[in-house]
Structure 1
């Protein structure tokens, strides 16, 4: 690690100490002021340019900001410096990572290093399983997610979407054909299965959990090959299955000879170390674990990881080879350097902190106005999104139009149901990945006002 990076990380730790509860620090309306450039240059026995590079490193991560002729200040209240002057609509619809938090300089450096360090590999075709050095690293990293597997069980894929396509096409030892989906669920899965001519059916999932009677009936009667499920931070509901529910699901899968495809796409946003994936409790080789990097880094990286039971490894490898020769080696090499350097772990902490603060403010608004049915019944989740239940007769398109006119972008959960399965309820899906924490209350207040206005005009939406 270069000296300016060491200085920057030291300053970051100092800022965290200054903002800790009970600390006495010097701050004004601008926030906590950092030491002057010349003072730090003398302290660290380095050049002024090195200190300026350290401050630039912190600025790129939105941890400090510069005030002309005054100096550098820590970003106040966990928010970005530009949050108070945020321009454009408040986007509660987008699920893409916040580009303002992404460490472009870090990852660009990793790509450059990958080009230098992996020259030989870049001019060769790789393996169907992925870059060996990255797979070995990921088998170690995955223990942090409570996914303990041998490196032979891991495959690097071109995003989780490719892993899903391989699993849909390949035969399973149970000899079954139909895929079971959650309703609502990941909106890209039904068109994928339709395009591959793979039959599928659905089972209801609500904020309270799965329809267990319907699930067992489907396992028993519908020739289910595998059940595609999001136990953690379900999309679009945002809720997670309890440890008891996970155990029950594993028991049913074993009883009816069904495999479980666990999409743990938001594992990096989990703050509770006690929340383990399905994989960690599987002792019978029933779970296929999928991990994405699109939410913690960026979707364009197109890297996913599939962890398979030993019995499925040969089948998965053979079918992946039919779809492509290998996954982008440059992306794999850059990700490897990013993880080994400690940058991934650092970035993960930043993202978790930012998103947790935004969700905390969403929960504050839900609790403050819980007398409104939509707010009172909304799940209090971690992760990056939740849903607001709406009454059956609420004119949703009118609501979305009114919100848009007031600078709020939102979406319903309608597109999370396949065409053959009409939505069973009306819900507004709210994602916080692109909403500044300092303006969450403003956005939630507008949403509440418009729901109340439409309620009053229709006289059909009683408050709790």
Structure 2
């Protein structure tokens, strides 16, 4: 079956012959046909939908990497559209419509579909996030959860939100638009979090929560160690501060020993956020928030105020996608694909130890890293010159609150080139990084010559 039909399965997501039809075609017993499908399922060639049948797994093929004609896009953080599970998810949407049509066109519950929440409880246990069903909320993306958390009143009545510097680029804009006061603490490549500043600001008494990315921080890509996570939790408990953990790349973690901040929390200080945008597609707009018990009621009020409930159709389709095993297969595919690309990045960094930006770049997992740029590097000129050579790249400037950059380069702002591999073909990464190295070197040489004149 695998030899004869695999080429026909490239349409991906198509329904395969029923078990009895396979038995008749190959003149074998029904039990043998079932075992054949089970064998194919174990090898992630097909997947089963209960009471529906077997379907071909999306194989992730598309435009061949070496035939890629578009610019090499190291700037985009969106998932690779060539491996979007379009056909499989469309099937899940259709199945959700058939199975849950009585629920999909009415107002739902503010928490989300109870059946999806029950499924997520089991899935999140794999991430080492254990919580009761009443602590889960399905939101219209993580952005909605951040807005609700920023607006709602926390126990103790504190008002400020602390962010890492640099941080997720939409967070400062969101807080400013909601007129929520912002505090910041630096997180650098060498030193990590500025612990003295963090504790001093916690102690001043007006930080209601600290928005932090312990895993594959955006934009610098580094992760907190277990020791650092425990230290952060001790400070949060001591000064009555909540920690909003954005675990947006949990699905790309390749080490079972790297647990989220939530798993170390024994005093309910952590709010856990999980997005499906990076592993599936951004347009799904489904996020998950897991809350300490004390915040459930207040969060629910603001969630209902913002949108009443999250799209029931998206929730139902995601439930089918996870329950069928398709999500687990797709996650494995994406994790493997991105890991192989990051391996090429690391090989290129190691191949040029005398080139400071490559030498000092963090060897991260996930989907991105950063290149520290020399002092005085004209970043706009660099971006323009790279674009003229078919390379799209981004700096970390926009990951700081706008006022910090507008006031000039304050001490502590590191000028870095952010490189994301999710949309760069593996076979073209070496070429792209060579061009980046050449353009940085040329601008360095030009600056040196001008300084000597």
TM-score range, shorter chain: 0.7 to 0.9
2:332 maps to 1:343: no
2:224 is aligned to: 241
1:272 is aligned to: 255
2:270 is aligned to: 287
**Quick check: 1:61–1:103 contact (8 Å CA) kept in 2?**
no
What does residue range 243-392 of structure 1 map to in structure 2 within 5 Å? 243-392=226-375
TM normalised by structure 2 equals 0.86
The DSSP-based 3-state class of the residue aligned with 2:118 is helix
Instruction: Write out per-residue CA displacement over residues 270-329 of structure 1, whole angstroms, 9 at most, x where no aligned residue.
Output: 000100000000000100000000000011000000000111111111121111110000
Residue number among 425, 439, 442 corresponding to 1:450 in the alignment = 439
Give the Cα–Cα distance (whole angstroms) in 2 for the partners of residues 419 and 264 of structure 1: 24
Give the Cα–Cα distance (whole angstroms) in 1 for the partners of residues 186 and 28 of structure 2: 60
Give the Cα–Cα distance (whole angstroms) in 1 for the partners of residues 139 and 224 of structure 2: 26
Deviation at 1:81, TM superposition (A): 6.3
1:418 is aligned to: 401
**Quick check: 1:62–1:81 contact (8 Å CA) kept in 2?**
no
2:130 maps to 1:125: no
Instruction: Write out per-residue CA displacement over residues 86-116 of structure 1, whole angstroms, 9 at most, x where no aligned residue.
Output: 1111000000000111121100100111111
Give the Cα–Cα distance (whole angstroms) in 2 for the partners of residues 110 and 149 of structure 1: 27
Give the Cα–Cα distance (whole angstroms) in 2 for the partners of residues 43 and 190 of structure 1: 65
* Structural RMSD (CA): 2.5
Shift in alpha-carbon separation, 1:238–1:460, aligned structure 2, 3 A: farther
**Quick check: 1:393–1:460 contact (8 Å CA) kept in 2?**
no
Deviation at 1:212, TM superposition (A): 0.5
1:427 is aligned to: 416
**Quick check: 2:77–2:422 contact (8 Å CA) kept in 1?**
yes
Give the Cα–Cα distance (whole angstroms) in 2 for the partners of residues 230 and 461 of structure 1: 41
**Quick check: 2:158–2:205 contact (8 Å CA) kept in 1?**
no
1:403 is aligned to: 386
Instruction: Write out per-residue CA displacement over residues 112-171 of structure 1, whole angstroms, 9 at most, x where no aligned residue.
Output: 111111110012110000000000100110001000111110000000000001101111
Give the Cα–Cα distance (whole angstroms) in 2 for the partners of residues 383 and 191 of structure 1: 25
**Quick check: 1:391–1:461 contact (8 Å CA) kept in 2?**
no
Any unmatched runs of 5+ in structure 2?
Answer: 11-24, 47-54
Choose 282-291 or 317-326, whichever is displaced more: 317-326
Residue number among 132, 139, 147 corresponding to 1:150 in the alignment = 132
What does residue range 38-57 of structure 1 map to in structure 2 within 5 Å? none
2:196 maps to 1:198: no
Any unmatched runs of 5+ in structure 1?
Answer: 13-40, 64-79
TM normalised by structure 1 equals 0.84
Deviation at 1:379, TM superposition (A): 0.4
2:209 is aligned to: 226
**Quick check: 2:63–2:82 contact (8 Å CA) kept in 1?**
no
The DSSP-based 3-state class of the residue aligned with 2:168 is coil
